[in-house]
Chains A and B, each alone.
Chain A
Amino acid sequence: MSGDAIVVGAGVNGLVAATYLARAGRKVLVLEAKDRLGGACQTTWFASSFRGPAIAHALTALDPRVVAELKLARRGLKFAVRDMPLVALRADGKHLTNGRDLRATARNIAVHSRADAETWPRFRRELFELARRMRPLWWSDGKSEIPSEIARLRRLSLAAWLDSRFESDAVKAALAGDAASLSPLAPGSSLLLLWRAAQEMCGLQGAAAIPLGGPGALVDALTAAAKIAGVEFRSGAHVSDIRVKDGAASGVVLDSGDEIPANVVLASFSRAGLLATKAGRTALGFSESVALERGVSPAASAKVMLALNAPPAFNGVAVPLRGRFLLADRLETFVAAHAASRAGRVPQELVLEVVVPTAGDPELAPLGQHVVSIRIGPLPRHVAGGWDAAKTPLAAKAVAALDRCASGLARHVVAAQVLTPDDIAARYGAEDSCAVTVERLLSDWSSRIRTPIKGLFLCSAASEPVDAVSGRAGRIAATLALREGAAK
């Protein structure tokens, strides 16, 4: 079997890229190493009669152009929750709900600090306005001008930025929850908050949404769109190397030894992942290889899924169950968690992001029962003694932390699934991520997607400014591949 274009990896970006290429008239073959499509974006049965999001439990960055151009709504993508408010859970019951209604949010903030409540509407307006001006850089492949304020923000740590605007720990921690992939003390971590604010879901800036049927529904819609466009799939096909002829990609080699020729290869590798292939190592050259190998490794995360036989009831003030719940008291919690994960220890205080998928989509569990999806991170990628030994204590700690804010929750757990960073890497191949840096956040797309090998493009989440389910890397990689193909 031969194809003009091969897409390695059927994650969201791979599917998006394949569909765009096929719609432009290319013959496209998608190779997936696992049996199931979707990568990190799947809905799985984790206990009998309970389904839940495998890894990503809320979508925050899906490119609206991908949704519109691939007609995903017509292929069955519907949203169960379109705009999840962020709820910072506090041990004292004074939870802080940060929603779209500025006045309601300001009233919530006023419980913690009157001054912050006054600052909030102005801060959010400025943040969203500046974030919109960053969209040309973060959404499109063209060269774009970076707004002048960025020169200041890239030097500013999130902690310094928030400290200069807000006084209450609750507000600062709630905002930091959206920028948790860097330590809040790192310069440029404020750009993460800006990146998050630049995203759009369901037409709402900075929203988070859950598809009806879980994140797997997005992959189903993308797969349907790809099949209609004529994309062919082959699963269980692990690519071991890229064939290169005269400095240009000429095909891929599978583990089985089969070779599949192609003019264009779009691979869901990160740049560091490219080093695992012989062709990549040769093409990148010595100095870049060394720089990549010695580069900073990103923090990992773990996932806990709970099946409950009763709805979770949070102590204290009423909170909407369809929100995203954040458990982290202060900015210092994030700082300490990042420091501990770098040192290879499980942090003393875990940072948890909790979603109750059944709040908007009751079909995922039997009637009256609920699914709670917990993301724990940052965590070290490896711990002393191995993750297998640390697995149960980690889950117990997370459930205990959640139980403090929703007493009785632990008693209602009827089944649970725990995925440590090791499990996530083994099952979903999400090993291949790349640390977020200021450089990555502010470089243009083509420098992250293009490779020294002509006709080889990288379209994994690592090619995005921040790892996220957006489909943008796939869309832009396909555009670049087509543009280069046309020039040939």
Chain B
Amino acid sequence: MRYDAAIIGAGAEGLAAAALLAGAGVKTIVVERSERAGGRATTREFHPGFRASPFADELPPIPADIHWALDLSRRGAIFRPAPTSTAIWPDRQSLLRARESGASSVHSFLRNAAERASDLRARATHDSNRAPQRSFFSRPAVPASWPCEDWMAASLAEVLAREIGDPDMEAHLAAAALRGWVADPFLPGSALHLLSLQRSGTVTGGLATLADALVSAAREAGAEISLGRDATDIRHAKGRVSGIGLADGSEIEARAVISTLDLKRTFLSFFQWNALPKEIVQAVGAFRMAGTTARVLFALDTVLPGAKRGAIYVAPDLEQLAAANSAWRSGTIAAHLPVALRVADDPSLAPAGSAVVTATFGAVPYRLFDGAWTREKRDALRKQALAALESAIPGASAHVVAAEVIAPPDIEEALGATDGDLAGGEIAADQMLSAGPWPDFPFPRSPFKGLYLAGSWLAMGATCAAGAAVARIVALDLAKGALK
């Protein structure tokens, strides 16, 4: 059976792309390895009665047009902006109230960061409209200047010192920008991480509700969603793709293949290396990816009435972020990992009279210098999370009845993210947008005709945006007859 578009991966991006493509009359199939759709937008029971989203508490915002186009509210995905975050030091605390209190420098700074992120997205859209004209082997095109050129060369610490001027608030914002990631805040270029300071949100009932809504949108539009089928290779000949091969030996023929996996996984596991041009293997090999995130899920047998809602950063400190980065680079678990706690404020996630708390660590290496991720090393993470919990909410750690540690290798296994890298690549000026591995084939296109990329790493801080972008381009290319 021949499809117009085959999508690998039923995460938020893949489902959004499927819904939009099918809605435009494109015959679409989504292939997902796991038995459940959703990717990182998932919620599962980690202890009897206790549920949590294992890979993220919050998702970046869904752009309003996509939200309406997919009719997500009617399908039950009620997106709630994340509450104000808090930073707690042993002797004091700072509230990121800026969003509410209109006039402060923090408020205008956050607005500036959000504007820059949306400018960058607009720029990415603009770039993707540029049709590829030259071959991969020609000299690279020149990336024109970007809306965020100044942050590209500035350090996070420098920008915050200039714009904020209050050390506590600077440390708080730096911790928020680097939540779950790693960077040296004093290194030029790290200011790009500030782009992630936008208002993210949760979904009532856990992130899985969003996945269910997207599945319903896609199915209703006529897309086929095929779960539990593992794609193993992308069939191609003479520089254009013709379909995907599956683990069970079957094949799906398609005029366009959309991969929602990261760059490395897409090219290094779906293609045979010797079948790829050397230049592509080199460009993909040079793309820097590394896991940084680990999570600990806690089940507590008590409610925490006084606890702050929203993310709680425990003793954020710029020097400590820099030290954690050095430790991460050398493959060790820092003594003080940057950590963000979140007390689940959704009553449907925990039984009555109990609570779920998640801890998100940044600067956790995928490869440890002294070998594999053993039980002791996971235990070290659990202890750091417990200590953070105790200092943020005194007395809470005694009520912990269960804990689950999710280390970078677990993320890789569950989501197929290379090295457990949830960002899909280091956030650096030389691998974003048109400066990526193939400047002449602006994302979502690739050097292969008919192969499109739509991982969340291309969404530039907006859920479903990469899926919507790829849907637009694929529909356009199909209509133009470019993929006959």
Give the B-binding residues of A (Cβ under 8 A): 148-149, 151-152, 154-157, 160, 163-164, 182-183, 185-188, 290-291, 294-296, 332, 335-336, 339, 342-343, 437-439
Contact = CB atoms under 8 A, between A and B. Distances in A.
Nearest to A160: B430
A86 B367 CA distance: 34
B319 interface: yes
A151 B286 contact: no
Given A157-B428, A186-B187, A335-B329, A342 B322 contact: yes
Contact of A187 (B161, B188, B282): B188
25 contacts: A149-B142, A151-B144, A151-B145, A154-B153, A155-B152, A155-B429, A160-B286, A160-B428, A163-B286, A164-B286, A185-B187, A186-B153, A187-B152, A187-B430, A188-B153, A294-B158, A294-B161, A294-B162, A295-B158, A296-B158, A336-B326, A339-B326, A342-B186, A342-B322, A438-B153
Interface residues of B, number: 31
Among A155, A156, A160, A185, residue most surrounded by chain B Cβ atoms (within 10 Å): A155
A152 B329 contact: no
Contacts of A295: 158
Contacts, number: 79
A186 B189 CA distance: 6
Interface in B306-342: 319, 322-323, 325-326, 329
B281 interface: no
Nearest 9 CB-CB pairs, A to B? A155-B429, A186-B188, A187-B189, A164-B286, A148-B142, A438-B153, A156-B430, A155-B430, A187-B429
Nearest to A153: B430
A439 B150 CA distance: 9
Contacts of A152: 140, 142-143, 430, 435, 439
Given A157-B189, A163-B286, A291-B162, 13 more contacts: A151-B142, A151-B144, A152-B143, A152-B439, A155-B435, A160-B288, A186-B188, A187-B188, A294-B158, A296-B158, A332-B329, A339-B325, A342-B186
B155 interface: yes
Contacts of A343: 319, 322-323
Interface string B414-441: 0000000000000011110001000100
Nearest to A190: B430
Interface of B: 140, 142-145, 152-153, 155, 158, 161-162, 184, 186-189, 282, 286, 288, 319, 322-323, 325-326, 329, 428-431, 435, 439
Contacts of A188: 153, 188
Contacts of B429: 155-156, 187
A172 to B, nearest CB: 13
Contacts of A336: 326
Contacts of A332: 329
B469 to A, nearest CB: 22
Nearest to A438: B153
A339 B157 CA distance: 13
A185 to B, nearest CB: 6
Given A160-B428, A186-B187, A437 B153 contact: yes
Contacts of B142: 148-149, 151-152
Nearest to A159: B288
A348 to B, nearest CB: 10
B184 A339 contact: yes
A150 to B, nearest CB: 9
B153 A187 contact: yes
A183 B140 contact: no
A158 to B, nearest CB: 11
Contacts of A291: 162
A148 B286 CA distance: 22
A152 B143 CA distance: 7
Contacts of B186: 339, 342
A439 B162 contact: no
A319 B142 CA distance: 41
A187 to B, nearest CB: 4
B153 A439 contact: yes
Contact of A183 (B187, B288, B323, B428): B187
Contacts of B319: 343
A415 B437 CA distance: 54
A335 B189 CA distance: 14
A183 B142 CA distance: 25
Nearest to A164: B286
Contacts of A438: 153, 188
A62 to B, nearest CB: 28
Contacts of B184: 185, 339
B442 to A, nearest CB: 14
Contacts of A335: 329
B367 to A, nearest CB: 15
Contacts of B158: 294-296
A187 B153 CA distance: 6
Contacts of B322: 339, 342-343
Q: Which of B319, B431, B435 gathers most chain A CB within 10 Å?
A: B435
B329 A155 contact: no
Nearest to A147: B142
A437 B319 CA distance: 22
> Which of A290, A336, A343, A439: most chain B CB closer than 10 A?
A343
